[in-house]
């Protein structure tokens, strides 16, 4: 439902989204190597209003919070 609302808003602005990506996953794409993702790592994203964490192991996110 939420994704459909987002798509409708984007379409009304003549924009198109190919995919929606979890914020923690996007962070992992930009800062981690494949070896780090495979070995296991915890990402802590300290923002202005929120702090998010993600734990990756064997190349996959196993926890977000």
pLDDT under 70 in the chain at which residues? none
**Cα 29 from Cα 54, distance rounded (Å):** 12
Q: Is the pTM of this model over 0.85?
A: no
**What pLDDT does 22 receive?**
85
**What pLDDT does 44 receive?**
94
**Cα 55 from Cα 23, distance rounded (Å):** 13
Which residues, at least 6 apart from 34, have a Cβ–Cβ distance to it below 8 Å? 59
Q: Are 27 and 50 in contact (CB under 8 A)?
A: no
Q: Give the residue ranges of DSSP H helices in the chain.
A: 2-12, 23-31, 34-39
For residue 3 the two structure tokens come to 């994704």
């Amino acid at each position: 439902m939420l994704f459909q609302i987002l798509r409708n808003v984007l379409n009304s602005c003549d924009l198109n989204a190919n995919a929606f990506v979890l914020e923690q996953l996007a962070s992992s794409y930009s800062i981690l190597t494949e070896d780090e993702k495979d070995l296991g790592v915890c990402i802590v994203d300290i923002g202005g209003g929120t702090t998010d964490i993600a734990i990756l192991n064997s190349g996959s996110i196993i926890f977000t919070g």
